[in-house]
């Protein structure tokens, strides 16, 4: 089940190299060194995967849902039984702390399989009855071959979040993980083989987004694309998929606001705001990166928040004291650094962080940076408008509820927002006005898998999660029966 040095594609039930025979380097972000190699796949590999999925579709889509339940549950069991191996692999591949991979990423990955395995058993469609005349019922059928493309920040967590509902609903899948974090997707291939998933039902093709990913989107036989990643990539995918009338679910970028009212539970808010700012080094699409604080508590917040940010331990992903590991790549580290310089050019004051961490020994070349808190920037500047996706937050005071809402809504994004107040009517009022797919009140990242998940505006299109995902991966057909 463990990681290997040379990863393989999973096509038609077998682990195979890319047709080209070429490999890409896979870097451990904490050491900065290549530690394994992944297939550099192209349209030929994708074509094979799509053909295998097409062949597998009639039997898988026609199978009893209890069979799908059993196999998906077995995959969940295998991930759970190998929690430690998966968590270690995820940490090495992505640079995140092992403790996080073990407590968040991998438990959630197995939960995704378990949740949708169970959901398909209980899934029911609607019927509409006109007394004595007709009964209409909605037949929900799987789409066929679907494409699932996921990013590097929560590798197996987001990969399985797409694959599990697609398979549960009876589709066959061609999937691509990010080229930066392919290892646990490769290990999932082995878990699927061990679980007895019929060949061709799930195919995992590794490689570059512009090559292997684009080939999945281009394939005329792929009926739907479920994509999580950056907004620009989402635009490109939509431009290809829309004229072919493919179903599209796009989970894209964010620039999430936290609104903190003076009447909040300060201690609880402080703990959670630190978490919502810097968990996984801010590399979670749901992290808050613009923090708006009601003026009476602005200075108290700023001083305490900066102090606690400076206490965070950055370094060895396997040390139990580590809060933040490495950023995912050198390119991403450079991007984050460039935004810190930009913030200064735009007139911001960096209150803490933003500097590289001097590491020694095996981590000397790793991609580590201290989390940064910046103040003094207007909402309109690029630092406050563009997604940085790193351990960087800006803070600013507000005076009125209306001002806070305007600031929160003042970007092209609309993924998630957090509101801190003890006044429930204020919380509800603000939640109604926020242009955001998710609003958390007095908490952050509380995830119930039954709820709709997704963004507004440039943060995406469609919703995943719970029944929304099963609806996305099925075609509704109305059947009308007339009384005799």
Residue ranges in contact with ligand NDP by CB under 6 A: 149-153, 158, 176, 178-180, 208-210, 213-214, 217, 228-230, 233, 236-237, 251-254, 285, 387, 389, 415, 455, 459-460
| H helical segments located in 228-329 | 231-241, 266-278, 298-311
Nearer CB in complex with ligand NDP: 38/419: 38
Closest CB 208 distance from ligand NDP, rounded Å: 5
Token pair for 481: 């029966």
- Cα 11 from chain centroid? 24
Beta carbons of 61 and 392 less than 8 angstroms apart:
no
Residue 202 β-bridge partners: 173
**Which residues neighbour 103 within 8 Å (Cβ) at sequence distance 6 or greater?**
none
Token pair for 124: 């029911």
251 in active site: yes
Q: Which of 148, 172, 192, 285 is catalytic?
A: 285
Closest CB 170 distance from ligand NDP, rounded Å: 24
432 in active site: no
**Which residues neighbour 449 within 8 Å (Cβ) at sequence distance 6 or greater?**
111, 112, 115, 465, 466
Token pair for 52: 């295998």
Q: How far is Cα 336 from Cα 448, in angstroms, rounded to an integer? A: 31
Sign of the Cα pseudo-torsion (462, 465, 469, 470, in order): negative
Closest CA to 280 of 465, 82, 108, 452: 108
Closest CB 69 distance from ligand NDP, rounded Å: 26
Closest CB 429 distance from ligand NDP, rounded Å: 26
Residue entry with tokens 């950056």: 230
Nearer CB in complex with ligand NDP: 369/427: 369
Distances in Å between the alpha carbon of 152 and those of 108, 160, 359? 15, 13, 24
Q: How far is Cα 461 from Cα 468, in angstroms, rounded to an integer? A: 12
Residue 475 dihedral angles phi and psi, to the nearest 5°? -100, 125
Closest CB 216 distance from ligand NDP, rounded Å: 6
Closest CA to 33 of 330, 473, 442, 461: 330
Tell me how many degrees the CA angle 3-360-95 measures, rounded to the nearest 5: 35
Q: How far is Cα 267 from Cα 372, in angstroms, rounded to an integer? A: 21
Closest CB 154 distance from ligand NDP, rounded Å: 6
Residue nearest to ligand NDP (CB): 209
Nearer CB in complex with ligand NDP: 151/397: 151
| H helical segments located in 226-364 | 231-241, 266-278, 298-311, 330-345
Closest CB 413 distance from ligand NDP, rounded Å: 9
Beta carbons of 206 and 39 less than 8 angstroms apart:
yes
Under DSSP, the state recorded for 49 is H
Q: Which of 51, 90, 179, 251 is catalytic?
A: 251
Beta carbons of 23 and 38 less than 8 angstroms apart:
yes
Closest CB 425 distance from ligand NDP, rounded Å: 30
Nearer CB in complex with ligand NDP: 294/387: 387
Pairing of strands 202-204, 172-176: parallel
Nearer CB in complex with ligand NDP: 210/296: 210
Token pair for 364: 């000397």
Closest CB 462 distance from ligand NDP, rounded Å: 11
| H helical segments located in 128-230 | 155-168, 183-195, 214-218
Category of 170 on φ-ψ map: left (φ > 0), alpha (ψ -120 to 50) or beta = left
Please give the helix or strand (H or E) that residue 467 lies within, else none: helix 466-472
Catalytic residues: 251, 285
């Amino acid at each position: 089940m463990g990681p290997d040095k040379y990863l393989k594609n999973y096509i038609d039930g077998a682990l195979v190299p890319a047709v080209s025979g070429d490999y890409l380097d896979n870097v451990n972000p904490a050491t900065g060194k290549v530690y394994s190699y992944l297939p550099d796949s192209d349209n030929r590999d994708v074509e094979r995967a799509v053909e295998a999925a097409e062949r597998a579709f009639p039997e898988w889509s026609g199978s009893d849902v209890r069979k799908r339940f059993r196999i998906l549950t077995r995959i969940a069991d295998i991930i759970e039984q190998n929690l430690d191996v998966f968590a270690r692999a995820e940490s090495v591949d992505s640079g995140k702390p092992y403790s996080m991979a073990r407590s968040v990423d991998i438990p959630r990955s197995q939960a995704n399989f378990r949740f949708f395995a169970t959901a398909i058993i209980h899934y029911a469609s609607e019927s509409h009855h006109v007394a004595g005349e007709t009964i209409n019922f909605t037949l929900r059928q799987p789409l066929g071959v679907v494409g699932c493309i996921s990013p590097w920040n929560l590798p197996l967590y987001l990969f399985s979040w797409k694959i599990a509902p697609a398979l549960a609903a009876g589709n066959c899948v061609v999937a691509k993980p990010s080229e930066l974090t392919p290892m646990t997707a490769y290990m999932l291939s082995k878990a699927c083989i061990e679980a007895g998933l019929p060949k061709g039902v799930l195919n995992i093709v590794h490689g570059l987004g512009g090559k292997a990913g684009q080939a999945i989107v281009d394939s005329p036989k792929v009926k739907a694309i479920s994509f999580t990643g950056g907004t620009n990539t989402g635009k490109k995918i939509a431009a290809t998929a829309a004229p072919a009338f493919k179903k599209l679910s796009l989970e894209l970028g964010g620039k999430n606001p936290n609104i903190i009212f003076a009447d909040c539970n300060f201690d609880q808010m402080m703990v959670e705001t630190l978490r919502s700012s810097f968990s996984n080094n801010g590399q979670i699409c749901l992290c808050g990166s613009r923090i708006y604080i009601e003026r009476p508590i602005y200075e108290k917040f700023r001083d305490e928040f900066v102090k606690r940010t400076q206490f965070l331990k950055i370094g060895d992903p396997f040390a139990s004291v580590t809060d933040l590991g490495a950023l995912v790549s050198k390119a991403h580290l450079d991007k984050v650094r460039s935004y810190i310089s930009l913030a200064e050019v735009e007139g911001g004051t960096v209150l803490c962080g933003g500097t590289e961490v001097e590491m020694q020994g095996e981590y000397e070349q790793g991609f580590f940076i201290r989390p940064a808190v910046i103040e003094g920037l207007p909402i309109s500047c690029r630092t406050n408008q563009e997604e940085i996706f790193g351990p960087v937050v800006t803070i600013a005071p507000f005076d009125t509820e209306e001002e806070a809402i305007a600031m929160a809504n003042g970007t092209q994004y609309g993924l998630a927002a957090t509101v801190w107040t003890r006044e429930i009517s204020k919380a509800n009022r603000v939640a109604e006005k926020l242009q955001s797919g998710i609003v958390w009140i007095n908490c952050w990242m509380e995830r119930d898998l039954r709820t709709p998940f997704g963004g507004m505006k440039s943060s995406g299109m469609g919703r995943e999660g719970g029944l929304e995902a099963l609806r996305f991966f099925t075609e509704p057909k109305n059947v009308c029966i007339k009384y005799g």
